[in-house]
Structure 1
Amino acid sequence: MRERQASQDARRAREFEAFVAGAAGRLLHAATLLTAESPDDNPRARRLLTASLAHTYASWDRLRGEDPYDRTRQQLAVRFARGAWHQYGALSWAHPRGRPNTGGVLHRLTPQERLILVLRLFEGVAEEQTAALLGLPLERVRAICARAMANLLHPPREAPPAVAKVVPS
């Protein structure tokens, strides 16, 4: 009995290692886009991915034909959304613009805009699936995605620096 269990555990570990070897790079890139961190300095993205992979590993035997990449991506999205909600608060989740630029290309978007944009454009998740995953109406997902794209393509102009007047003496 113990040998059989050890054999199953070893098989499970090999399958999971093969999955991680093939999927971790893309998932880390998605997590880095979500957190708007620099690809060279992304500790939040790495923690997010590690927790998502741990959840997938814990439920590995219960996947029963379900795509482990899809399951991990869902965990990544849910964990990011939950963390952003707690970190930035409800109002910031929907409206903030006051985060420091951490070097990520998506830094000027809200966490919700980033999440929807990454799921839709980088991961290729359908609008209906994105809406279901986030518990939002389909039209809301479309509107947020369109607003995020507009913010990326046409960023608001920053105010020009104040010019000091020189008073002649």
Structure 2
Amino acid sequence: MRDRQASRAARRAREFEAFVAGAAGRLLHTATLLTAEAPDANPRARRLLTLALAHTYAGWDRLHGEDPYECARQYLATRFQHGAWHHYGAVGRARPDPRSPLAALSPQERLILVLRMYEGVAEEQAAALLGLPVERVHSICDRATATVLHPAPATTPRAVGTRAVPSWASRPAGRPR
């Protein structure tokens, strides 16, 4: 009996190690995109990944043919969604890294864009996972895509004590408006 339990535990550990070896890199990249952290400085993404892998390992025996990657990705997304207000909400302690291409997006926009475009999750699946109508997921994804593809121009800071010059004041005299 103990030999059977030991061999089952060893097989479970080997299977999970093989899963982590194949999926951890992609899941970490997904988490880094969600948190909009720099790839070389991503403690929140690493924490998300650790929690997702721990959750997947805890339910490993109950997967029964389900995709463990899907399970880990779902947990990663829902954990990010539930923690986003705490990290990015009213307090705003965790600011996205400005070098991230997704820094201009809200946490919800990042989540939907990453699920749809990077992970290839269908609109219906993303909507069910996030508890949103399909139309809302579609419009948020469209808006986020437009923001990433056509970012707002960066404003240059003015020197202290200078005033902004209205556009009409910079035109040469005598030219029509």
Q: Same fold (TM over 0.5)?
A: yes
CA distances 1:30-64 after superposition (whole Å, capped 9, x unpaired):
01100101111111111100000000000000000
| Map 1:1-169 → 2, pairs under 5 A | 1-89=1-89, 99=95, 101-162=97-158, 164=162
> What are the ranges of 5 or more consecutive residues in structure 2 without an aligned counterpart?
164-177
The 8 Å contact of residues 101 and 108 in structure 1, kept in 2 or not, is answered as: no
The 8 Å contact of residues 36 and 96 in structure 2, kept in 1 or not, is answered as: no
> What are the ranges of 5 or more consecutive residues in structure 1 without an aligned counterpart?
none
Poorly superposed stretches of 4+, deviation over 6 Å: none
TM-score by length of 2: 0.84
Deviates more, 1:101-110 or 1:35-44: 101-110
In structure 2, the CA distance between the partners of 1:82 and 1:5, relative to structure 1 (3 Å rule), is same
Query: Quick one: distance in 2 between partners of 1:125 and 1:53?
Result: 19
In structure 2, the CA distance between the partners of 1:135 and 1:154, relative to structure 1 (3 Å rule), is same
The 8 Å contact of residues 36 and 106 in structure 1, kept in 2 or not, is answered as: yes
Kindly, what percent of the aligned residue pairs are identical?
Answer: 69
The 8 Å contact of residues 35 and 45 in structure 1, kept in 2 or not, is answered as: yes
Query: Quick one: distance in 1 between partners of 2:96 and 2:77?
Result: 22
| Structure with greater proportional helix content | 1
Q: What letter matches 1:83 in structure 2?
A: G
Q: Tell me how large the CA RMSD over aligned residues is.
A: 1.9
TM superposition shift of 1:102: 4.3
The number of aligned residues is 160
